[in-house]
Every structure is written in C-alpha cells, then in structure tokens.
Structure 1
Amino acid sequence: MKTLFCSLAIVGLALTTHAVSAQDAETVAPVRMGCGMMTFDTVPGWGLRPDGNSAIGPTHGGVVVDSAGHIYTSAKQGVYVFTPEGQVVKSYLGKDYSNMHDIEIRTEDGIEYIYGARNEAAEAVKFKAHGGEIVLKMPFPEASGLKPKAYRPTAITVAENGDIYVADGYASNLIFRFDKTGKYLSHFGEKGNDLKQFNTCHGMTLDTRYDKPRLLICDRNHQPKGRLVHYDLDGNFIEEVVTGLGMPTSVAIQGDYVSVPDLHGRLVILDKSNTIMAVLGHNTNPDTRRNFNVPQKDWIEGTFSGTHGSYWDKEGNLYVQDWNVSGRLMKLVRVK
C-alpha cells in the first residue's frame, strides 16, 4: 500500500451521540475530517426527517448524484431522492426497486438512467432516473451455458459503448458482460485468493482516470486483506492496484480521485497514482465498526460504522452511506 500522509480526523467543537433533528442540527458542531485538499466537514442532521429520524429505513446500497445535483440512495424499501439540502423529494418503492445493492447513473441520448444490481432479486435493472420507468431487466444469463447454484449481483457499471458489467459478488464471483440491450456477451473471473481470482467482487466502476478506461473492482474479502484490481473491458487482468484496504465495498470516481468506502467504518480517498490522500470517518471502536446493528441513537457525528456507498457531486462534496439498520446517509462538504 502507498504511504498514508494525512491525519485521519480533525474533530470539531463537539460530538453528538444521539439522533440530530432539524431543530437540533444548529446546536451540533460539524466534524472536520481529512486534510489538505481532501478536507471535509459533516452536516449534522442532513437527510433526516424534521423529527430527527431516518427518512429511508435500513441501508445496504449505494449513492449517485444526477446532473441537477439530486442525490439518489438505494435502501431496503427502494430508492430515495434528496435535494442537496437533505430533503426527500421523490422515492421509487416496491418490488422493482427494493434492495439495490449498487447503483450507477449514466446519461444516454439526453436521458439519465440508473443501473442497479439487486442481489436478493437475482437481477440487474435499468430505469429512468426521472420517472422511474424500468427499461431493462437482466436476470442470470442462461446463454452463458453456466448453471450456478445462485445469482446474487452486487455491482454494476457501464462502458462508454453501452456494454453493461454485472458482478456476481455474493455467489459465483464471476463478472458478466452484456451489450446495451441486455444480450449476454461474455464473462470472466473465478472464486479464490490467487492474483487473478476474486473473493467477493463486491464493488465496481468504470475507471475513467486513464486514457483507456478500465474496470476498477473491489475484491472485498481477498486474503490476506481486501484490495482493488484493474481489468480491461474484455475481462483481462491488468494489475493489482492497492491492497490492505480492509473490506473495500465500492468505488466512485471524480477526475483523478476515487473514494473507497471500507466496511470497517472509514472512507479512503486515492489519487491517480493510487496513493492514499485521506482517510475519513475512521471508527476505532471494534464493537461498532463493520456492524449493521448500530441504532440511530448510537450514531456518532463524523464516525462511520459500516461504510458501504459513496459519490461525489460537482462541487467535490461527498455523500456516504453506511450499511445500517436505521438507514444512514451523510453529506460531507468539501472545505475549499
């Protein structure tokens, strides 16, 4: 792993160990974390209802931001849409939208679409970000000739030509490639801990930091420690990018930078050379990190418990989702 050269967290004037209502938020100090150009302040109470409770229910999903700055997060019940100020303005709920483990957003012919990997529903989907119309469903590709015992997609991303990649991270550890119509094209990978094997290919995105975009994949449980790896778009191994990241769950790119949530309760930011620039929200308590069952009353401002999804907005702010029984989504404001 490249050298870590900044402090893990700079704490603000006070911490809170209880739910922050809209009325209380003004009395709770933000927590500052990171360093240098990757310094952020939390926004106490962001995304909560006026009564101080979570607006979204249990979370085990991802986050994306559309062109208008609205924040989409997937939860057990469905997908919720927030304003930058933290109010829910829309939701897509029900059996077609529930339990999206990972989501990505893409503009095609002027229309914004969300792609989702639904591990419990054994499918990937594509729907319109504005309106929610489902336009494509991708169950297990029978054309692959494989006969898996299960199909539990955990990640999805889309290449510039429209090809769709779906990681079956909770089952076969294969990555399936479809064309833009959902037609099966190929697959690659196998389960294991060797250099070119996956042990829970949990998260994935198109890494646009390079002249030829490639797949950046979170190999969450690879031994001895979790890692990121690069594959080309034909499924050929390129390199092991970085190791020792704990349990990396997902990746989000902005410019030369990538945010990497770690299920142990922290978020790592890497630069284009994949050197660690900052570590945010680091949780030192073994009882509350990598722990789904931390109730809202025990949340600590500026400390994560099971960091699972993240995304950047145009201003470089970060939205971070915890894997959490009460449903936790946080806004981190970039300090200029």
Structure 2
Amino acid sequence: MNRRQFAKFSVLASSAIAFPNINYGKERSSKNPIIGHGDFKYKVYQDWGTQSPLKYPVKDCHEMVQDKKGRLILLTNETKNNVIFYSRSGKVLKTWGHDFPGAHGLTLHQEGEEEFLYITDHDRHQVFKTTLDGKILLTLDFPKETGVYDKPEQYRPTETAIGPNGDIYVTDGYGQSYVIQYSSKGEYIRHFGGRGNEENQLKQAHGICLDTRNPDNLELLVTSRGAKEFKRFTLDGKYLATIKTPGCAINRGVIKGKNLYFSVLETKTPWAYDGMVIVLNENNEIVSAPGGSAPKYIDGMLQNMVSDNISFMNPHDVCIDEDENIYVPQWLSGRTYPVKLERV
C-alpha cells in the first residue's frame, strides 16, 4: 500500500472511529523540512495544533482567524466543539459551539473596541453573527428577497466578508454561487455573480475577502474555485477583472500587509491530497507556493502549479499571525489538526 492509498484508508478509518490520521506528515522532516520560495519560506510544524481527539475532536478543520489578543480561533464542523481557541503555542484555551453541523466560513470583524465572528453553516442554510463567547446576535436566513431562490435547500453559504461600513457579503459557494450583500443590520441590498460562464459570473463562489491593500480603492476578491481563479469586484458588485491560478483550486483569500494568501484545496482531486499554499504580491502575482512547485511565468502567464504531494492533504484556509507565520486548517484530512508554517 503506497502513501496515498494508506492516507485514504486512514481518512476512512478515522471517520469511523473519530481518531486523527496519526501517520499524516511523518515523511515531512526527512524529505523536505523547509517549503516555499524566494522570501517566503517556512519550516513546517505538523503537530502544532494536535490535541486529544477524545477531549477536543474535530471533523473538518475549515477556517481560522486571529483576534486582537493573539488567540487563534478554529472553526470545525464537529458539534462537540465547533469553535476552538488556541494560543500561539498550540494550547487550547477554550471551546464552544454545538449547533453548527455545516460550519464552514469564519470571519472576524472589529466594531469599535469589540470583535465579532461571522459563521456560515451550509447545512442550516444560514449565517450567524456571534460574540467571541458564542452569543448569537444576528441570523441571516436564506435570501428569498433575491428572487432567485425557491427554498432554503438551494442556498448553501460558505463565506462572508465585511465592508468598511459594516455591510455583510455572503458567498453561496455550495449553492448557486451568488454573492448576497446585506446592511450591517441584515437588510438585503443586492446580489451579484451567480453560477455561469460570463465574466461577471462564478463557478463555485467558495470564498470572499475585502482587499484592503489600496485603502483608497477597496475591492472584493471572490473565489471562483471550480474555474481555478478569483475575480475582482467593486463593493457594489461591478465586475473588474479575473486573475487565474492554473492548477490551484483556491479557497478564500486572506490579506496580510501588501500580500494575498490562499490555501489550495487540490490541483487534481481531494483524494490525491495534493494541496498547497500560495502567496501573491500586491500585483496579484504568485511569489511563493509552500507545498508546491516554484511559480513560473511565461510571457506574463502563470504556468500550471503542481503540489509536492507530501506537505499537506487538503488545505482549506490560512491564518497569518503578526510574525507572518501561517496556520493551515484542512478539510477531509483524517481529522487532523491545523499545521503551523513558521516563516524563516
């Protein structure tokens, strides 16, 4: 049984017995201890977030954010503890959440001195705004106001982004790939995108983020994961441009300084465990691909990216701390816990 076959067996077995894939990453230290390219290279800490599966179980580790206290907040669809707070050293500080079986997207937003979380649940077809202690303050139900949905089951939200005025943007990544815009109070404003092949349409609008790299010209970056690209929109939903990421099924974008980061779920299929992380500069050019091949451009065109097939299984998000270390939660990866990439 080769490594991929064994890993797949471990995922299936762990799904049944609720234990993580303990063999994942064991080849890492001897074969490729440092990953990445150029100025963005990292040492991999495979066991950074590993916990007792009996005390702190996870299913899919979907997304992570960091609050102003430095705590790393993980969202998982395990209803014994949907939300897990980590210290930067990997210690669990607290947990909460038992009601989000389809927990998927996690966004942190600061209003004044207080921070709030936005959680999407594609199984419940809803989006929730909560305090950091888990109190639900706002619930967004399926957007019947749009006129494009007949029933909640057609709507499977995957991500949110919060505009500078508090507007809430929700991507229906596992539904009809619309972006729905609400006021901060949850009042419907508009929708745009939608599944299709036109330049302003999307193929699996999996993620969205507010691009703050040019403060005078804020934009929305919306992932079209099925097409292996992302698209730029104005804050009122007007299409601007498409940036292709050939070979990379990207999740949501994360901004840190002048750089844009994506986790790459896979390049071929989730069962190949061939994900990676990509780092883009302010011109949206890939400058490093930890866990993948060195980015190569020919006549301004990015060439197909390839995974190293060892660093990750199915990366689903990235969280970048103040030292520009990267934390990587993973989907359908044998209940494994987040991985830390320490910048070197």
The verdict on a shared fold, with TM-score over 0.5 as the criterion, is: yes
From the superposition, tell whether residues 52 and 36 of structure 1 become closer, same or farther in structure 2 (CA, over 3 Å). Answer: farther
1:172 positional shift: 1.3
**Letter of the structure 1 residue corresponding to residue 65 of structure 2:** V
- Partner residue of 1:323? 331
Instruction: Indicate the structure with greater helix content.
Output: 2
- Partner residue of 1:92? 96
2:167 and 2:277 mapped to 1: Cα distance? 29
1:99 and 1:164 mapped to 2: Cα distance? 20
**Letter of the structure 2 residue corresponding to residue 331 of structure 1:** K
Alignment of structure 1 residues 65-76 onto 2, 5 Å: 65-76=66-77
- Partner residue of 1:268? 278
Query: In the alignment, is the contact (CA less than 8 A) between 1:82 and 1:90 conserved in 2?
Result: yes
| 1:279 paired to 2:283 | no
From the superposition, tell whether residues 68 and 38 of structure 1 become closer, same or farther in structure 2 (CA, over 3 Å). Answer: same
Secondary structure of 2:196's match?
coil
User: CA deviation digits over 1:282-304, x for unaligned, max 9?
Assistant: 39xxxxx99xxxxxxxxx9x611
Alignment of structure 1 residues 62-141 onto 2, 5 Å: 62-77=63-78, 78-95=82-99, 97-129=100-132, 131-141=133-143
Alignment of structure 1 residues 1-336 onto 2, 5 Å: 18=23, 31-49=33-51, 55-77=56-78, 78-95=82-99, 97-129=100-132, 131-149=133-151, 150-210=154-214, 211-222=216-227, 226-264=228-266, 265-282=275-292, 303-324=311-332, 325-335=334-344
From the superposition, tell whether residues 169 and 280 of structure 1 become closer, same or farther in structure 2 (CA, over 3 Å). Answer: same
Query: In the alignment, is the contact (CA less than 8 A) between 1:54 and 1:327 conserved in 2?
Result: no
From the superposition, tell whether residues 99 and 81 of structure 1 become closer, same or farther in structure 2 (CA, over 3 Å). Answer: farther
- Partner residue of 2:297? none
Q: Percent identity?
A: 26
Secondary structure of 2:289's match?
strand
1:281 positional shift: 1.9
Q: Structure 2 unaligned segments of length 5 or more: list them.
A: 1-21, 267-274, 294-305
Number of residue equivalences:
295
1:115 positional shift: 0.9
User: CA deviation digits over 1:37-77, x for unaligned, max 9?
Assistant: 2111112421112x699944111521101111111111112
From the superposition, tell whether residues 199 and 60 of structure 1 become closer, same or farther in structure 2 (CA, over 3 Å). Answer: farther
From the superposition, tell whether residues 98 and 108 of structure 1 become closer, same or farther in structure 2 (CA, over 3 Å). Answer: farther
2:197 and 2:147 mapped to 1: Cα distance? 25
Secondary structure of 2:68's match?
coil
**Letter of the structure 2 residue corresponding to residue 333 of structure 1:** E
**Letter of the structure 2 residue corresponding to residue 259 of structure 1:** Y
2:204 and 2:25 mapped to 1: Cα distance? 35
1:60 and 1:328 mapped to 2: Cα distance? 7
2:37 and 2:245 mapped to 1: Cα distance? 22
The root-mean-square deviation of aligned C-alpha atoms, in Å, is 2.7
**Letter of the structure 2 residue corresponding to residue 276 of structure 1:** I
1:260 and 1:122 mapped to 2: Cα distance? 25
1:31 positional shift: 2.2
1:167 positional shift: 0.5
- Partner residue of 2:296? none
Query: In the alignment, is the contact (CA less than 8 A) between 2:125 and 2:141 conserved in 1?
Result: yes
Query: In the alignment, is the contact (CA less than 8 A) between 1:29 and 1:44 conserved in 2?
Result: no
1:148 positional shift: 3.6
Q: Structure 1 unaligned segments of length 5 or more: list them.
A: 1-16, 22-26, 284-288, 291-299
1:65 and 1:103 mapped to 2: Cα distance? 11
1:101 positional shift: 1.0
Query: In the alignment, is the contact (CA less than 8 A) between 2:223 and 2:230 conserved in 1?
Result: yes
Query: In the alignment, is the contact (CA less than 8 A) between 2:103 and 2:122 conserved in 1?
Result: yes
Runs of 4 or more, structure 1, over 6 Å off, are 27-30
User: CA deviation digits over 1:2-47, x for unaligned, max 9?
Assistant: xxxxxxxxxxxxxxx83689xxxxx989821113321111124211
1:148 and 1:191 mapped to 2: Cα distance? 16
Query: In the alignment, is the contact (CA less than 8 A) between 1:30 and 1:41 conserved in 2?
Result: no
- Partner residue of 1:294? none
**Letter of the structure 2 residue corresponding to residue 47 of structure 1:** G
**Letter of the structure 1 residue corresponding to residue 38 of structure 2:** G
